[in-house]
Amino acid sequence: MPKGLPVRVTDDTLLKERRSALISAAVTGQIDVRNVIGHGA
């Protein structure tokens, strides 16, 4: 098993957790995202 793999998996998991928390905060109104310009818009 490559030495860097466990760190990469941890990084991916952390990114997914932060993304989920950000989406939850936006949906529940804890943060205001109405004036945010996305790079897909």
Distance between CA atoms of 37 and 16, rounded to whole angstroms? 21
What is the pTM assigned to this prediction?
0.62
Tokens 């950000």 appear where? 22
Task: Please give the C-alpha separations between residue 6 and each of 11, 17, 19, in angstroms, as whole numbers.
Answer: 9, 16, 20
What pLDDT, on a 0 to 100 scale, did the predictor assign at position 5?
59
DSSP readout, 1-41?
--TTHHHHHHHHHHHHHHHHHHHHHHHHTSS--TTPPPTT-
Give the pLDDT score at 33.
86
* Ordered per-residue pLDDT tens for the chain, 41 residues: 556 556 666 788 889 999 999 999 999 999 988 888 876 65
What is the reported pLDDT for 25?
Answer: 95
